Structure formats: structure tokens, C-alpha cells
Amino acid sequence: MAPGRSNPYDVTANMTNLPHVKTLDQLRSRRWFAGNGMRQFAHRQRANQMGVRREDVLDRPLVAIINTWSELSPCHAHLRDRAESVKRGVLMAGGFPFELPALSLGEVMVKPTTMLYRNMLAMEVEELLRSHPVDGVVLMGGCDKTTPGTVMGATSMGIPALFLPAGPMLNDRYVKDGVTRTVGAGTHTRVFWDEYQAGRVSEEEWVTLESRMTRSPGTCNTMGTASTMTSIVEALGLTLTGASSIPAMDSAHTRMATSCGERIVGMIWEDLVPSRVLTRQSFLNAAAVQMALGGSTNAVVHIIAMARRAGVPLTLDDLDAMGRRVPVLANLFPSGDRLMEDFYYAGGLPALMAQLAQMPDLLSLDELTVTGRTLGENLAGSVVADPEVIRPLGNPVSMNALAVLRGNLAPEGAVMKPSAASPNLLKHRGRALVFDSQAAMQAAMIDLQLDCDENTVLVLRNAGPVGAPGMPEWGNLPIPKKLLQQGVRDMVRLSDARMSGTHYGSCVLHISPESAVGGPLALVRTGDQIELDVPARRLTLCISDEELAARRAAWQPPVERYARGFTRLYKDHVTQAHEGCDFDFLEGTKPTPEPDIY
């Protein structure tokens, strides 16, 4: 923050006087409460039953607080408290708040994967808002899928919406033999697991690490999917300025929550709905931020899904073009060596975006944001406090945060994060070792007689949206134990799965179309040669077209395991990775009627 600049997390520093275009009589909630009919009487009666005064529902805008807190979501353990701060802000601004619980989707605890339920959360948010008497909403989330899920639902609903990021957890340090190491959630879980498997971390150390690596509420403190997505949502213009960088346990986070409650009331009067903020240019701004952060590959799926909900065209080619152009400036794990708390002290996302604004014709600074100001106005005065954490354009961490690959193995595309891969593996040819399931692969990885070496290309299939189902984060395939003991720490790995944004390695992900629907990944056999050429953006199965066609003709789809329930609905309607993995019937901007009230 520039010396003398007003606090960027204070809502009064972010507001302008957009005209109030809504009157009290035009508020959506009036359909429930205003009038002398029996139904309106009954609604006011039930509000009275909860201790809410008649004038509270008749004379104020009503604000929903969508809270993804639960006791099995450690990243959101503090959101009950933050909801109280939001309520305080709403009341201060003349509104009245109602807290509505929604699917929590705690990344670590939900199985087989939270991605299976992102679209369910989006549906829940949209229908909670549509079916209740609310005029605007504060969305509380942060752990991976809660951010895109809540934003997708609110976008489709179309009432004023402001996102409150949960914030990253506190940093950790690990001291051994007098040497202090920075420890990040997720990233170092994999680091220490590999060392434990290789016999270089003792059982006692392992238990100690378990008890302290994630030492506070909040999302992963690396540039994983959580911080990538909250930063993207801020870059889109859906949060208060700087909100995504504030650590969960910092007192500024509580103040920011109060400011969110205050600001949403103004947004209701201004009718500042998502469609006024979410433009193609705002999505390209967000894509630029993803690349500069060295952000999670999972963001590719989510940003495309969010764009399609907003009716904005955005493709893998757009993201690849941005990846080629924008350097990685954030020195954060897994691409760098710092953590989110360091990023906050270095100036946070506003400082990073101010750096990007120096690149000609990259950011569109005229985009409107939920502050009521343009992006450029929000960034004015933002400076980098630590150039080792937020690098200048002339000294980037790396030059490539995302590569979109195509070829006969990925006709619709696959993604890779070169900034977190081994440079010597970005051009590689090797023998495929194929696994049809996660269970088979895991069992093979501990076999000391496994037929593989450091040049082998590990392949996992049936891990995509339909195949797994839900496209879990299985894409960071483990290194075989026998190779770990030989000192190997990276190999080329291919799958139709996703990978945790906190992880690293030479992993090709999101291969589309996936194997379960007959994509070419289904046709690979152990012993085939696979060639990866990241600079050329190519992924090739080295067999003839005739052989590929013969294998395709012989292919049989997997036996269907789900006859009923949500998972069956999911498999029947989910789109492929390059399309965002939304439900086909939820995409687009065609209006849904408001509910009849009788």
C-alpha cells in the first residue's frame, strides 16, 4: 500500500456515488412482504415469529448471506464469525440480513471430490436466492469449488452479488538441524510424503508435521486453487479491492467482512448486478491475473464455466494466448518459494495488478467493479512493497504458467503448468505405463519390481468428469517407490484428471475428450511411445492413424456403476473439461421466471 493511502479494505475508500436507480417499491423482496393480501400477511407474520420487526422487512432492502461454513470444512471454520461482521455492515447501511447455509465443500474431507458437487452448489445458490425474499447477496466462500460454485449460481440468478473470500491460513515454518524451511499447505504435503516414502523423514517427524503444517483456519497458503480462484474473482471485479489477499486470521479480514455488508446495500440501490461487471474484458483481466500468479490449472475449468454462465465467450485458446504473453510475477509456491501471507505484506493482488497494468494493452482498466468504481480507480496508488515476492516485469519467476496442448491424444486440448514442471521434461518421449483406475495405480506404485524408469510416461485414465466421476485431483500421479529411492522426483504424467493447485510436477491434465466417453486416452496401451513437446504445444500418441482407428473401433465404454441419484444426473449432463464441466442445462443467460407467489 502506498504511504498515506487510505486503507484499501475500508469500503468508504472503494465507493463512488453510482446513481441509486432502485426505489423501495421496486425491491424484489416487496413481492413477499408488501401489500394487504393474506399471503403477504402470512410472510410478515412468520418474520415476526423470528423476532424480526414489521418495518425490518417492509422498509429495508433484504440481504442474503450465503455461508459455506461447516464443521467439516477447516478452511471455512471462521466464517460463522465473519457472517456476524457482514450482518453488522448490512445493518449499519440500512439493510436487513438473513444468513442462508449452503454446501460447504471442504476440499480435503469431501469424497470422491468436491468437483462432483460444484454444480450442485451453483444450483443451490441460484435456487436459494430465487426462492427467498432477498434483494442482494454476500457470497462467503474460498475453499476451491465454493468460489466458482457460488459465483456461478449468483451470476445465473442476476441480483446484486458481492464475494467475500475466506482468506488464506497463516504461514508455517519447519526447523530441522538448525535450518528453517518455509512450509506451505498441500505443496509440502507432497514434498514430505515423497521424503517419507524414500525413508528420509522419520515417523516422529511425520507426526509432528501432521500436527502443525495447517495451523489456522483459512484456505491453503500457497497459490493453490483456493487463492487462484479468489484472486480471479477479485480481478473480475466481484470483491472489494484487495480482499482476496487478506489472511483469514488478520483483523483486516473482519473489517473487510463488515465492509462487504455495508457495500452490498449500496449495490442493491444501484442495481449493480453481475452482468454489469462480468464482460469479456473482465474475464481476460482475470486470465492475465491467473498467469501472473502462476495459478492453479484448475482455474482453467472454473473460469470457462463462469464465463459461459455470464454468456461470455472464453476458450482454451484465449487462456493459452494469455499464458504465452504474461510472465509469472508472484513468487509463491508451487512456482516460487513464498506464501500468501508474504504476498499480502508485499501489497497483495492490487500491487500485482498494478504491475500488470504496465504491460501495454493487457488489462482493461475501465471495467466496472462492485466497489462502484472502475478497476483502474481501484488500483490507483497500489505499489509493490517487496519486489522479491511480487517481481517486476523484468525479473519474473518464470515465463509460462499455462500451456494448452493438442494432438491426436488430446483433440480438444489438455493443460500443463510449465512453471511448476521440470524444464528437462518439457520435451520428452517415453514408453507409456497405463493404469485404468486410481486403485490399480496406487497399488502398483509401491511395487519395487514395477517395470519403469525415469523416462517412463505414467498414464491414468477413467479419471475425468464422467469416468471417475467428478474429475478428482488424481492428476499428480505418484512417483513409483522404487524410483523415489533412486532419487527420482519428477516424471511425465498424463491423465484426464485434475491436479491440486498446490502440487507441482510435469503433469499433463484435463485431457479432452476424456477416456470414459471414448477420447483417445482410452486407446493408449502400455508400451506405446508418447511424445510431449510443450514449446510446440503438442501431445502425441506415436502410432499410425490406421492403428488408432482400429483401436477406436474395438473400444467398449466402461460399465455404468450409477443407476440413480445425483451422480447419475451429473454423469448424464456434465460437459467436458475444455467446456468447463458445467451441466449442459445450466449454461447461458436465458432468463428463469421469478417464482409465483400465491
Cell 468447463, residue? Answer: 580
Helix and strand tally (H, E) in the chain? 21, 14
H helix or E strand, kind and range, residue 152? helix 146-157
**What's residue 85's pLDDT?**
98
Question: Is residue 598 in some structural domain?
Answer: no
Render the burial of 315-342: b for 16+ CB within 10 Å, e for the rest: ebebbbebbeebbbbbbbbbbbebbbbb
Q: How confident is the model at residue 182 (pLDDT cuts 50, 70, 90)?
A: confident
For the stretch 373-381, contacts whose Cβ atoms lie closer than 8 Å and that sit 24 or more positions apart, written own/partner, are: 373/14, 373/15, 373/16, 375/237, 375/282, 375/285, 377/16, 378/8, 378/14, 378/241, 378/350, 379/241, 379/350, 379/353, 379/354, 381/1, 381/2, 381/5
- Spatial CB neighbours of 567, under 8 Å, sequence gap ≥ 6: 116, 469, 470
pLDDT score of 2 more than 50: no
Cell 477420447, residue? Answer: 519
- Same domain as 224, residue 199: no
pLDDT score of 440 more than 60: yes
Question: Is residue 1 in some structural domain?
Answer: no
The average pLDDT across 68-88 equals 97
The average pLDDT across 296-325 equals 98
The average pLDDT across 82-98 equals 98
Question: Is residue 577 in some structural domain?
Answer: no
**Domain holding 437: CATH number?**
3.50.30.80
pLDDT score of 8 more than 70: no
- Same domain as 339, residue 260: yes
**Least confident piece of the model among 331-335, 346-350, 408-412, 530-534:** 331-335
Which cell goes with 311?
454468456
Cell 452448489, residue? Answer: 121
- Same domain as 448, residue 424: yes
Residue pair 382/401 in contact by the 8 Å Cβ criterion: no
The CA-atom distances, in angstroms, between 489 and each of 108, 192, 457 are 24, 12, 14
Cα(385)–Cα(388) distance, integer angstroms: 9
Say which amino acid occupies 26. Q
Which cell goes with 234?
477479485
Cα(96)–Cα(124) distance, integer angstroms: 22
H helix or E strand, kind and range, residue 565? helix 565-573
Residue pair 543/481 in contact by the 8 Å Cβ criterion: no
Q: Each residue of 559-575: pLDDT tens digit?
A: 999 999 999 999 999 99
- Same domain as 235, residue 196: no
Say which amino acid occupies 403. A
Closest by CA position to 230, among listed 246, 252, 215: 246
The number of domains in the chain is 3
Strand, helix or coil for residue 71? coil
Strand, helix or coil for residue 18? coil
Query: What sign results for the dihedral spanned by CA atoms 283, 27, 120, 47?
Result: positive
Residue 136 phi, psi (nearest 5): -160, 170
Q: Each residue of 9-67: pLDDT tens digit?
A: 554 545 666 999 999 999 999 999 999 999 999 999 999 999 999 999 999 999 999 99
Which cell goes with 128?
436459494
Q: How confident is the model at residue 1 (pLDDT cuts 50, 70, 90)?
A: very low
pLDDT score of 6 more than 90: no
Residue pair 264/95 in contact by the 8 Å Cβ criterion: yes
- Structural domain boundaries enclosing 302: 11-15+62-169+220-379
Residue pair 393/355 in contact by the 8 Å Cβ criterion: yes
- Same domain as 241, residue 288: yes
Question: Is residue 393 in some structural domain?
Answer: no
CA 187, distance to chain mean position in Å, is 16
Give the chain's mean pLDDT. 95
**What's residue 432's pLDDT?**
98
- Same domain as 282, residue 342: yes
Cα(31)–Cα(493) distance, integer angstroms: 56
Residue pair 177/205 in contact by the 8 Å Cβ criterion: no
Question: Is residue 67 in some structural domain?
Answer: yes
Residue pair 436/467 in contact by the 8 Å Cβ criterion: no
The average pLDDT across 487-509 equals 95
Q: How confident is the model at residue 191 (pLDDT cuts 50, 70, 90)?
A: confident
- Same domain as 161, residue 71: yes
Start-to-end CA distance of the chain, whole Å, equals 53
Residue 577 is given by DSSP the state: G
- Same domain as 450, residue 372: no
- Same domain as 543, residue 448: yes
Question: Is residue 191 in some structural domain?
Answer: yes
Closest by CA position to 470, among listed 73, 112, 122: 112
Cα(542)–Cα(288) distance, integer angstroms: 34
What is the DSSP code string of 206-265?
Answer: HHHHHHHSS-SSSB-SSSSHHHHHHHHHHHHT-S-TTGGGS-TTSHHHHHHHHHHHHHHH
> Which one is predicted more confidently, 197 or 449?
449
> Interhelix angle for 203-212 vs 187-197, to 10°?
170
Cell 482400429, residue? Answer: 550
pTM of the entire predicted model: 0.96
* Residue ending a domain, choose from 155, 180, 212: 212
- Same domain as 186, residue 122: no
Which cell goes with 129?
436466492
- Same domain as 312, residue 334: yes
Question: Is residue 365 in some structural domain?
Answer: yes
Pairing of strands 136-141, 161-165: parallel
Residue 361 phi, psi (nearest 5): 60, 30
**What's residue 17's pLDDT?**
61
**What's residue 75's pLDDT?**
96
Burial class (CB in 10 A: 0-12, 13-18, 19+), 530: buried
* Residue ending a domain, choose from 344, 379, 414: 379
Q: Each residue of 124-143: pLDDT tens digit?
A: 999 999 999 999 999 999 99
Question: Is residue 321 in some structural domain?
Answer: yes
- Same domain as 149, residue 95: yes
